[in-house]
Chains A and B, each alone.
Chain A
Amino acid sequence: MVPEPAVTAAPSCACCTEPAVAYQPASRRHLCRTHLISDVEERVAKTIRETGQVHAGDRIAVALSGGKDSTALLLILSRLFNEQQDVSLIAITVDEGIAGYRTETVRAAQDLTRELGVEHHIIPFSALAGADLDTLLVGREKQACTVCGILRRKALMDAARAACATKIATGHNLDDEAESVFMNVLRGDLPRLIRDTGAGSGDCFLPRIKPLADISEKEIASYLFVQGRFAILPECPYTRYALRAEVRSILSSLEYRYPGTMRHLIESKEKIAKYCAGARAPGTLNRCRECGDPCSGEICQVCRLRHSLGH
């Protein structure tokens, strides 16, 4: 069962005498505003350093939806690399065209990039798929996340390449990573479970990095809130169709009752990937016969999707 933090009128920071704003179950420490901010930023820097995610000369395309995770990501990376002349940042926002949802987050992304002075590219779905997501999904709403995911990855990759980026950084946090492991296990999808998207693939795919992978969703929200940057934004209307929403709820409940569950899942995935490394068959990478993009079969996922959508 959960080791609850001690109850006091106002807990103090473990590092100073200021009142605490957050409790970290992993370290069993209370932290004040200042130490929470520095702790999160130092852990992101550590993840980048230890996993060799960024090198001199990198031009990093930050996938900026305008939601909390990507907002925190751009904010932290811009602080970490502010004085580093040999690493540059750009931001890419994919506008799927989801009524009542995307407009506000795109505006938040524009405000943030303007404030930070980061080059910003907004890519509408219609430019890629001929229509916005709402139109593409009429009568097939349950496939929303699959359709959106395929097209969004393609839009992001194309825009990053066009902007001469060397890497794509996404705001996946600890919770997201644990959810992905759990979902891949539920689907029995071993190849996806052990796939290393950080390595890239020759000249075909840009490496994807996840600097927030060690930070929990709650820590990210707290990090933004204490800086006055946590905005309550609308939820994607298609979330209710997603397996991820159910997995999120299950894992969150397990994490509360059995702290460490999410980290254990991620560690399991890393162990499995390690065991499989030697046995992994080197997949042949072809070029899509229709668009020329790299793919494992004859036609890439995007072209297959375009066909199924009648385009």
Chain B
Amino acid sequence: MRIVLPDQTLRKVAHGPCSVNEVLLSLGINPLEVIVSRNGILVPEGTLVSADDEIRIIRIAHGG
């Protein structure tokens, strides 16, 4: 699975089907502070993602 992190860096992880929520928590990210797309489509945290998905994590909280 390819994961694009909020700072645009790319991370490849091998582990198989798991929920978006689990992916975020494994990265130490609070799910309330981001939105997540799978292959370009916004998905809720309960969605299962698999090894061939591209997950993009977008940080939503900005100061200013």
Chain A residues near B (Cβ < 8 Å): 4-11, 19-23, 30, 33, 65, 67-68, 101, 105, 175, 216-218, 220-222, 225-226, 230, 232-233, 235-236, 238-239, 242, 244-245, 248, 252-253, 255-256
Contact = CB atoms under 8 A, between A and B. Distances in A.
Contacts of A68: 60, 62
Which 9 residue pairs across A and B have the least CB separation, nearest first? A239-B63, A236-B64, A5-B46, A221-B60, A23-B44, A21-B42, A7-B19, A9-B48, A236-B63
Contact of A21 (B30, B44, B48): B44
Contacts of B19: 7
Interface of B: 19, 21, 30-33, 35, 37, 41-48, 58, 60-64
B46 A236 contact: no
A133 to B, nearest CB: 11
B41 to A, nearest CB: 7
A89 B47 CA distance: 39
24 contacts: A4-B45, A5-B44, A6-B46, A8-B48, A10-B47, A10-B48, A11-B44, A19-B41, A21-B42, A23-B46, A68-B62, A101-B64, A218-B32, A218-B33, A235-B62, A235-B64, A236-B63, A239-B62, A239-B64, A248-B63, A252-B30, A252-B32, A252-B61, A255-B32
Given A21-B43, A225-B35, A218 B48 contact: no
Given A101-B64, A220-B60, A256-B32, 9 more contacts: A5-B45, A5-B46, A10-B47, A10-B48, A232-B58, A236-B63, A236-B64, A238-B63, A248-B61
B30 to A, nearest CB: 5
Contact of B62 (A7, A67, A225, A226): A67
Contact of B33 (A11, A65, A252): A252
